Amino acid sequence: MSDWLYTAGCKMPDKQQLPSGITRYAAILQYQGAEYCGFQRQKHSPSVQQELEKALSYVADNAITVGCAGRTDAAVHASHQVVHFDSPVQRSGYSWVQGANSQLPDGIALVWADKVCKDFHARFSALSRTYRYVIDNSTTRPAIMAKSVTWIKKPLDASAMDNACQYLLGERDYSAFRASGCQSNSSFRNVHSARIHQRGKLIIFEVTANAFLLHMVRNIVGSLLEVGLGRKPSQWIEQLLAEGNRCNSAATAAADGLYLVDVEYPDYLGLPQLPKGPVFLPEKLDKLEE
């Protein structure tokens, strides 16, 4: 969920024939990840999936299992996570949202749900994912959003970080930003866009790609911080990608500031376009002044 997404290099599942009387639904949810081991259900710790399935099963009065667009890691947040699930009983989108939210803990909430075609798959139908990484570049640590942003005390050069982003674009090998535990068959991904935005003391890294490797976004941010702190030039990012050696890049950035903020699907599937979030950011971020 992490920023670990498995779509690239994976075979699309065969078109499904749902049993008679079974309806497929999609839902969009938000969550504050600090209290969870990630989206995916785990035996040892509470997960977002566990809480969501329990709430949806209450509404359906049947066991519900969900599939998601991206399995976010421990402490990573989402303002736009997408899931699909099958139900033997039909409920309106309103009923799914209101009923599930009445059972979910405060840090998790559905914002939309509706019927979708039987072939919809939250993971395999997606065209791209977008993450935002939010940094509070203040001299004193934040209290109100202590687990919602990453605090960097020393001044950051946002323009230098933005210049470094240009080297991330395109389809290439991202081994330099791939965690050792990544199970993806391929280290190639296609980054569609990467920018740095600044709003007051907040510095926001926004990146869109077809999919991401394990810890890819946080590893990129760790190296961008080295550029922002003046320890490395912007061109260092290009060098890291060419070398393809994770040992040469910077330490993984903290999970606190990372949000899954959008998942793009073909228009015909009918999923709504919602503000990217998180809620404390404006709907549209301006580019840095040239």
Determine what percent of the chain is predicted with pLDDT higher than 70. Answer: 93
Task: Give the pLDDT score at 21.
Answer: 87
Question: 46 with 85, same domain?
Answer: yes
Report the amino acid identity of residue 225. L
User: Predicted confidence band at 3 (pLDDT cuts at 50, 70, 90)?
Assistant: very low
CA 38 to CA 40: how far, in whole Å? 6
Residue with tokens 């599939």: 67
- Contact at 8 Å (CB) between 130 and 143? no
CATH number for position 109:
3.30.70.580
* Residue 173 designated active-site: no
Is 76 exposed, middle or buried, given 0-12, 13-18 or 19+ CB atoms closer than 10 A?
buried
Q: 57: domain range?
A: 23-115
- Contact at 8 Å (CB) between 61 and 257? no
Closest-CA residue to 115 (of 53, 28, 23, 52): 23
pTM of the model: 0.93
Task: Give the pLDDT score at 15.
Answer: 56
User: How far separated are the first and last CA of the chain, in Å rounded?
Assistant: 34
Task: Give the pLDDT score at 44.
Answer: 86
State the Cα angle at 44 between 41 and 46, rounded to 5°. Answer: 50
**Which 8-state DSSP code applies to residue 251?**
P
Determine what percent of the chain is predicted with pLDDT higher than 90. Answer: 88
Question: 102 with 196, same domain?
Answer: no
Report the amino acid identity of residue 90. Q
Give the model confidence (pLDDT) of 76-101 as tens digits: 999 999 999 999 999 999 999 999 99
Closest-CA residue to 47 (of 75, 16, 78, 82): 75
Domain count, the chain: 2
Task: Give the pLDDT score at 159.
Answer: 98
Phi, psi (deg, nearest 5) at residue 261: -115, -10
Question: 165 with 209, same domain?
Answer: yes
> Which of these is catalytic: 3, 73, 136, 162?
73
- Contact at 8 Å (CB) between 225 and 155? no
Q: What is the mean pLDDT of residues 190-201?
A: 97
